[in-house]
Structure 1
Amino acid sequence: MKVPLSWLHEHVHPELDARALASRLALTGTEVDRVHHHGVPSSDNFVVAKVLEAVQHPDADRLRVTTLDIGEAEPAQVVCGAPNARAGITVALARPGARLPDGTKLKKAKLRGVESQGMILGESEVDVGVDHDGIMELPDELIAGTPLGNVLPLETDVLELEITPNRPDCLGIYGVAREVHAATGAPLGPAPWEHDTGSAGPLDGIAVTVETDRCPRFSARIFEGVKVGPSPYWLKARLMAAGQRPISNVVDITNYVMLLSGQPLHAFDLDRIAGGTLVVRDGREGDVLETLDGETRRLDADMVVIADADGPTSLAGVMGGARSEVHGGTTRVLLESATWNGPNIQRTSTRLALRSEASSRYEKGLSPEQTQEALAVATRLLVELAGATVREGTLDEAGPSGWDGTHQTIRLRDARVSGLLGADIPRARSAEILNALGFETVDAGGDATAAGGDAAATGNGGAATAAGLDVTVPHFRRNDVTREADLIEEVARIDGVDNLPATLPLRRGAAGRLTQWQQLRRTTADTLAGAGLHEIIGWSWSPAELADRLRLPADDPRRAAIAVDNPMSAEHGLLRTTLLGGLLDVAQRNVTRGIPDVAIFESGAVFVRGEDGALPHEPHTLAALLTGALRPASWRESQPPPADFFAAKGVLAHLLDTLRVTWRVEPGSEPFLHPGRSARVIVTPQGGADEIVVGWIGELHPSIAADWDLERTAAFSIDLNVTIAAVPGAAVYADYTSFPEVRQDLAVVLPDTVAASDVVAAVRRAGGPLLADAGVFDVYAGAQVGEGNVSLALRLAFRAPDRTLTDEEVGQRRTAIEEALAELGGSLRA
């Protein structure tokens, strides 16, 4: 929503500049996306001028030399190329020193040898309109030399607001003015629809039937003697500043009223409505409509149409039809102002990929009362700017079930306000805020102190006896404010959430604490962050093509993703079945922006389809990805090691060892991993039950990595629920023995098909309780051990907690270890 301040100031004018006003609105919950300037940088040196003379340029067929009265003793001479430059008209002049919207500063110049003291302006040259074929012709009653800024809105700051779906009332200039009034205390002008020049009662000349409850209210008026033409410059300028393109006075008035009131309108050429009747109905099989954008669209039963005797003539709430649009020869206009079912409009616009300013408002849920407000403003403007005559009467039809025009009254209790906010807000202050926002308040009496603190902890039950205010909700907040807590939120955000003291909520003996799962979940994040990885939070959705990009086979369960009924975009069409896609997207975004070394992780749910229509399973998964160098280059290490399988395994080992989980990896494969550089991650549950595969680890296949513009990349993914379930109970500590340990090294030659983890496991089993530690510290493959073999160097440490070991005890364990290695096909190196 673009809000030009020059337009806003017609209704409320706080003593704040654009930046300060943006900050104030942001603090009250109305997010300001950005502030920018529209039009010329400054209106200095822009004046009204009258053309005294216009003669042909001596050396240019398309140029004329004009003499202008600029309100000074000496006239000004300007060379102009516009075809409508002629004596007797009043024009807009930019004098030397003026700056145009693109920043160009005008100077005196010579055009084909003739001096020119400025520029006669067309509307596109000062962002007043889009016409660039001629110069603007201003009203003759204007006085030469009048500052142009007094006549036209040449410059204004514009606030771009991000309006939340629950606040469609702020999708109109006056609704924003009401917010500014409440937030700053600046006086608010009367509502622009306060005086209606139209009349109520039956309307002849059109028959309308509403057959669907998706249209709560349909209102319309008829205008005759309409003269379709360009809008005045002030109207064009306002539309341009608000992001709308001027078209014609009738269409511009509908857009202007929509931007002012938040209620969209649609103008029909009454003579093009077949049969003089309209039916508001659900779509039917075979319905086809050419919309105003020139596209022919096939409709269905979930859409609402406005149809005449020849079929659909408008797509309700989204876009009008080309067959009944207003054109240059239109003289009779049917102006429609209706309310539609918001969710239905959203589904329709999404299904047809057709969004409009109207649909973006209707889908948020407008109140039926707004139809008459918008008609009142549009009636006045059509009479003033299009020379129209409004026919007596107003058509006002409701859907089959009618519409609810009641206003809810909610008791706002003083004790509840202070109980929720932790601060005492005077009742008078609450009433002041709510009245400024358009609510009606009546003092319900009673003493706040006598009401009792327990009232703050109760619900709305018993509210009729509590001290406070009876608050009537206005129609434009009917869908948003439905309970006492909503009123308290309004009071808090306007009074200033930043002014509330820091207090603890009432505990009533309760004590909050993290569950063991929550504690361990935080431990995993802290551990990975400590290892140098950055946590990301990705979307819970994925695109349909992700499974193909990861080369998942047809029978892979991760292909059976659950479709989202109403996705935000095609990239968010499925619930994710893996975290890898999001990690790859983030890595690609960083690498393509000049950050080649990426180490990231994500912890979150993936969604696995349930059986026989059951709800999906949501296992909490942890995944990490490394690409680029493991550490920055330095003078000692100009080429740091790249992220590979062992780098990812090191991170995983650090994490699982921190959790004290018994784990191992074994050869395994995934379609997206490099063959021979991938493995399965296996943990042993508490109590020594059967091992469980909890995930995978490995390097991405080079073609997969290249598809995301990455080079060598490693990753892992584990089921965090199962992994945490394998975490043992409280850690048990043992005294560190003072008896010395015996250290021995041995080198064993084994077939290269034997995994090092199997070797270490066999050594530990054979070493028994006296073997305190065992590990591989060197690997050799070459001619000395023969082809197909590898030499592993093992470091052993023997220790007993209660005595010094003898050579005989160590020798027995050493013999058992050698026998275990022989069973694996190994032999000791000499």
Structure 2
Amino acid sequence: MRVPLEWLAEYCDPGWEPERLAERLAMTGTEVERVTRAGTPSADGFVIGHVSSVDAHPDADRLSVCVVDTGGGERTIVCGAPNVAAGQTVPVALPGAVLPDGTKLRKAKLRGVESDGMILSETEIELGEDADGIIVLDGQGAPAPGTPLGEVIPLSQAVLELEVTSNRSDCLAIFGVAREVHAVTGAELAPEPWAEDAPAEGEGALEDLASVTVEVPGLCPRFTARVFTDVSVGPSPLWLRARLIAAGQRPINNVVDITNYVMLLCGQPLHAFDLDEVPGGELTIRAAAAGEKLTTLDGVERELDAGAVLVCDREGPSAIAGIMGGRRSEVSEATTRVLLEVATWNGVNILRTSRRLGLRSEASARFEKQLHPALTMRAQHLASRLLVELAGARLVPGTIDVSAGEPEPRVVSLRVPRVEALIGMEVDGETCAERLESLGFGVKLRKAKGGEIAATVPLERDSDVRREADLIEEVARLGDLDKTLPSTLPSAPTVGGLSREQRLRRRAEDVLRGLGADEIVGWSFADAALGDRLRLPEDDPRRRLVSLGNPLSGEQSAMRATLLGSLLDAARLNLSRGAERVTLYESGRVHLVESGAAAVLGRHPAPVSEPHRLGLLASGAPARSWRGEGAPVDFFAVKGLLEALCAQLGAEVEVEAAPEPFLSPGRSAAIVLAPLDDEGARGDPVAAGWIGEVHPLVARSWDLESAAGFELDSGALIAAAGAGRERYEDVTTFPPVHEDLAVVLPDEVSARELRERVLEAGGELLVSARIFDLYRGDQVGEGRRSLALQLAFRAPDRTLTDEEVAGRREAITAAIGEVGGSLRE
């Protein structure tokens, strides 16, 4: 980014030497690569002259002998320009002046006539490309002869060349750099140049002249357009051309130059269309079709892919959005009506399209850093005013504004003690507030909250400042970090540690390893077609995957919503390599789009949660040993592993029959856990995951004969875990009384319902009821089964008597009868 100091001084002028300013900016985080000069090395020897007379050269047809008043008297100057005439006000280089190429001017005889200076053309002082004619300043307020030329046009000026980092899009604007200079030097900052809009005096209705349709709102968050009539296209004034050239831009015509000038000043790119070359004034913003072609302003025909975004009219593409306009609708000298576009584009899309085309422009360099949608109207106001002033344009009332809604300004909290802790310097709240305000932040100091600041982020810094650490960086870099005195680190040792969640998560993984499971680390990416392979219905939330914009492959185009896919992949791989049976587990995060959220690309991503899950899968033949065949891979095998895991963590787990599309009917269940509160009391049970045997069609899709597993939410498991919250309880002084019951039940009554009724009827004295046997046969009858329960009765303050236990036993027997059961004889 080239920043001419003459232009910068219009908005903030500290009065410093360029080298000093460059050093100060570099020490506060704005890197200055070098300080150069634009135009002539010095303004000395360049003045305003008035042509008194022009006569033909006696010995040269193409030369003229001019008498020019330069303020200190008249001089004879030989000139070869065809447009020189008596009465003109012109720039003159006197003997001793140094031209931009280093040539030092001196008196010289040209075909026998001594020339005491030079009447200048644009090329000779690097103000343009017109080398044939001289510069005529009659329209510049008729400065008096002898006036230093540098007071009329920017003749020689220092230029700061900035190395702008990817997060500082605000420094790609002259006013943004001016705000930075204001913050680091304390010099006064001028008012914002876009505050005043142009008067709307054009004729006609805007809706009759132009219309805009945005088909890809995710890639174009905002598109604004204005229409101007009676536009007079021609050369820009010298001051404008001089500023553009010093900033590295080539002047073209006043309309295009204004768009470039506004972009450089406020950081928001613009594009001007010749409205008469836009059929019907209709513009459509859409995605490009693969292979579509467009000839851009540089005269190159470019082939586009499906990732690009185009601004189109009825006849096809008219511009590559955010990168370069098309030749067909460019502004020319014949243009009289202009449609001015100021839009916001998806930064990631602009960056990728620019790279694919090998085309990087000043506009794309800004858009790829993701500009805020509200910046569009700033540019519209400033450009409209300049078009009216410099091109004689008339603004048609109204603005076309297609937007998904302007986001609220970001507010970030800053704790003053945290600033001191991170940067190691004493900084009070008032200083923090002053530094942030100087950078354009809205600041509200909340002293009642221990020195907390609520900072409203400037729109041009929205993509950069997002959290407290970013604010601390802003405060720190405006301090004299280079003058910070060395200090000794605190001697108090800091001891690290794990949170309870981390400890329990690692303990759960250790338990699974102890149960014989092997850990895998699967890809966080998944195939977008995974939902079809898992037989998920269309409305299943696990089908709403978070898509990747630049996936590694088509099979890894989204973020996973379940661990089951990676577990099945690992099981297939290991079994295909010779393993007879595998029991695998994975501890990792999944990515879920929140219910009802719409996917929005760019600056407003869809709300996504990333819960941590624990998954296990067993597959393969039953394990064999000298004792014979082992247990098969079925529901009860993985249920035993789940119960063992929860027992080790002190969590109470239940399974309730529930269908899952990827599990076998009748062999699937929901995992239910009861969370613990701070007092150690159990809350209402909540669903925490699934368990069951994988559906045969799903297993076959992974070339597996059978598989069973479970997946549960780690957060729910940790909330239900009693591990780490153990309290001492005396279990030896007053031992429990054990009794066994054999209960005959109808098949439709679940074992869980029986156990709950028994525990409820047993009251506080019944501390456990464990089912340890199941019998079916002729002795219990068809449609019935016998369950054996072991009951444990205990009181914390006494040894129970037979009478006390007998009373509870009678209540339990009655409760069993209420569910259709009876004690087995």
Which residue number in structure 1 is paired with residue 229 of structure 2? 224
Residue 139 of structure 1: how far off its partner (Å): 2.1
Residue 284 of structure 1: how far off its partner (Å): 1.7
Which residue number in structure 2 is paired with residue 272 of structure 1? 277
Say which SS state the counterpart of residue 241 (structure 2) adopts: helix
Write out aligned runs for 1:62-461 (5 A): 62-72=62-72, 74-139=73-138, 141-198=142-199, 204-212=208-216, 213-398=218-403, 402-446=404-448
**Following the alignment from structure 1 to structure 2, what is the Cα–Cα distance between the partners of residues 48 and 127?**
17
Which residue number in structure 1 is paired with residue 460 of structure 2? 476
**Following the alignment from structure 2 to structure 1, what is the Cα–Cα distance between the partners of residues 138 and 264?**
26
**Following the alignment from structure 1 to structure 2, what is the Cα–Cα distance between the partners of residues 565 and 393?**
39
Write out aligned runs for 1:309-708 (5 A): 309-398=314-403, 402-446=404-448, 465-503=449-487, 509-510=493-494
Question: Where do 4+ consecutive residues of structure 1 move more than 6 Å?
Answer: 504-508, 564-567
**Following the alignment from structure 2 to structure 1, what is the Cα–Cα distance between the partners of residues 25 and 234?**
38
Say which SS state the counterpart of residue 79 (structure 1) adopts: strand
For the pair shown, the structure with the greater C-alpha radius of gyration is 2
* Distance verdict in 2 for CA 1:403–1:506, change over 3 Å: farther
Residue 199 of structure 1: how far off its partner (Å): 5.8
Residue 150 of structure 1 aligns with an amino acid whose one-letter code is E
Residue 496 of structure 1: how far off its partner (Å): 2.7
Residue 503 of structure 1: how far off its partner (Å): 4.7
Residue 498 of structure 1: how far off its partner (Å): 2.0
**Following the alignment from structure 1 to structure 2, what is the Cα–Cα distance between the partners of residues 426 and 263?**
36
Tell whether the 8 Å contact from 2:31 to 2:164 is kept in structure 1 after alignment: yes
* Distance verdict in 2 for CA 1:95–1:497, change over 3 Å: same
Say which SS state the counterpart of residue 464 (structure 2) adopts: coil
Residue 41 of structure 1: how far off its partner (Å): 1.8
> What is the CA RMSD across the aligned residues, in angstroms?
2.4
Tell whether the 8 Å contact from 1:423 to 1:501 is kept in structure 2 after alignment: no
* Distance verdict in 2 for CA 1:394–1:204, change over 3 Å: farther
Q: Write the deviation string for residues 157-197 of structure 1: whole angstroms up to 9, x where unpaired.
A: 11100000101011010000000100111110011101112
Tell whether the 8 Å contact from 1:203 to 1:221 is kept in structure 2 after alignment: no
Residue 125 of structure 1: how far off its partner (Å): 0.7
**Following the alignment from structure 1 to structure 2, what is the Cα–Cα distance between the partners of residues 254 and 493?**
33
Question: Which piece of structure 1 moves more, 465-474 or 151-160?
Answer: 465-474
* Distance verdict in 2 for CA 1:300–1:104, change over 3 Å: same
Tell whether the 8 Å contact from 2:226 to 2:399 is kept in structure 1 after alignment: yes
Residue 395 of structure 2 aligns with an amino acid whose one-letter code is V
Residue 377 of structure 1: how far off its partner (Å): 1.1
Say which SS state the counterpart of residue 209 (structure 2) adopts: coil
Residue 498 of structure 1 aligns with an amino acid whose one-letter code is D
Q: Percent identity?
A: 54
Tell whether the 8 Å contact from 1:203 to 1:394 is kept in structure 2 after alignment: no
Residue 39 of structure 1: how far off its partner (Å): 1.2
Q: Write the deviation string for residues 236-295 of structure 1: whole angstroms up to 9, x where unpaired.
A: 100110111111111111111111111111000001002321111111234221111111
Q: Write the deviation string for residues 700-747 of structure 1: whole angstroms up to 9, x where unpaired.
A: xxxxxxxxxxxxxxxxxxxxxxxxxxxxxxxxxxxxxxxxxxxxxxxx
Residue 466 of structure 1: how far off its partner (Å): 3.9
Question: Which piece of structure 1 moves more, 294-303 or 249-258?
Answer: 294-303
Residue 341 of structure 1 aligns with an amino acid whose one-letter code is N
**Following the alignment from structure 2 to structure 1, what is the Cα–Cα distance between the partners of residues 24 and 329?**
45
Tell whether the 8 Å contact from 2:409 to 2:459 is kept in structure 1 after alignment: yes
**Following the alignment from structure 2 to structure 1, what is the Cα–Cα distance between the partners of residues 350 and 361?**
11
Tell whether the 8 Å contact from 2:294 to 2:301 is kept in structure 1 after alignment: yes
**Following the alignment from structure 2 to structure 1, what is the Cα–Cα distance between the partners of residues 395 and 50?**
36
Q: Write the deviation string for residues 569-620 of structure 1: whole angstroms up to 9, x where unpaired.
A: xxxxxxxxxxxxxxxxxxxxxxxxxxxxxxxxxxxxxxxxx9x999xxxxxx
Tell whether the 8 Å contact from 1:50 to 1:144 is kept in structure 2 after alignment: yes
Residue 508 of structure 1: how far off its partner (Å): 6.5
Residue 566 of structure 1: how far off its partner (Å): 11
Say which SS state the counterpart of residue 25 (structure 1) adopts: helix
Tell whether the 8 Å contact from 2:416 to 2:432 is kept in structure 1 after alignment: no
Say which SS state the counterpart of residue 298 (structure 2) adopts: coil
Query: Taking structure 2 as the reference length, what is the TM-score of the superposition?
Result: 0.58
Q: Write the deviation string for residues 411-440 of structure 1: whole angstroms up to 9, x where unpaired.
A: 211111111111111211111111110101
**Following the alignment from structure 2 to structure 1, what is the Cα–Cα distance between the partners of residues 551 and 110?**
60
**Following the alignment from structure 1 to structure 2, what is the Cα–Cα distance between the partners of residues 42 and 28?**
30
Q: Write the deviation string for residues 624-659 of structure 1: whole angstroms up to 9, x where unpaired.
A: xxxxxxxxxxxxxxxxxxxxxxxxxxxxxxxxxxxx
Q: Write the deviation string for residues 350-395 of structure 1: whole angstroms up to 9, x where unpaired.
A: 1011111111111111111111111111111111111111111111
How many residue pairs end up in the alignment?
Answer: 499
Tell whether the 8 Å contact from 1:270 to 1:334 is kept in structure 2 after alignment: yes
Residue 20 of structure 1 aligns with an amino acid whose one-letter code is R
Tell whether the 8 Å contact from 2:322 to 2:364 is kept in structure 1 after alignment: yes
Residue 480 of structure 2 aligns with an amino acid whose one-letter code is G
**Following the alignment from structure 1 to structure 2, what is the Cα–Cα distance between the partners of residues 96 and 431?**
55
**Following the alignment from structure 1 to structure 2, what is the Cα–Cα distance between the partners of residues 378 and 104?**
38
Which residue number in structure 2 is paired with residue 37 of structure 1? 37
Residue 118 of structure 1 aligns with an amino acid whose one-letter code is G
Tell whether the 8 Å contact from 2:209 to 2:280 is kept in structure 1 after alignment: no
Task: Structure 2: state its 5+ residue gaps.
Answer: 497-548, 553-569, 575-825
Residue 445 of structure 1 aligns with an amino acid whose one-letter code is K
Which residue number in structure 2 is paired with residue 762 of structure 1? none
Residue 296 of structure 2 aligns with an amino acid whose one-letter code is T
Q: Write the deviation string for residues 44-76 of structure 1: whole angstroms up to 9, x where unpaired.
A: 22111111111111111111101112223x311
* Distance verdict in 2 for CA 1:423–1:613, change over 3 Å: farther
Residue 468 of structure 1 aligns with an amino acid whose one-letter code is E
**Following the alignment from structure 2 to structure 1, what is the Cα–Cα distance between the partners of residues 207 and 197?**
16
Residue 215 of structure 1: how far off its partner (Å): 0.5
Q: Write the deviation string for residues 475-530 of structure 1: whole angstroms up to 9, x where unpaired.
A: 11111111111101000001132244445667863479xxxxxxxxxxxxxxxxxx
Tell whether the 8 Å contact from 1:203 to 1:392 is kept in structure 2 after alignment: no
**Following the alignment from structure 1 to structure 2, what is the Cα–Cα distance between the partners of residues 505 and 322?**
63
Say which SS state the counterpart of residue 495 (structure 1) adopts: coil
* Distance verdict in 2 for CA 1:202–1:425, change over 3 Å: farther
Query: Taking structure 1 as the reference length, what is the TM-score of the superposition?
Result: 0.58
Write out aligned runs for 1:652-801 (5 A): none
Tell whether the 8 Å contact from 2:45 to 2:93 is kept in structure 1 after alignment: yes
Residue 468 of structure 1: how far off its partner (Å): 2.2
Tell whether the 8 Å contact from 1:287 to 1:311 is kept in structure 2 after alignment: no
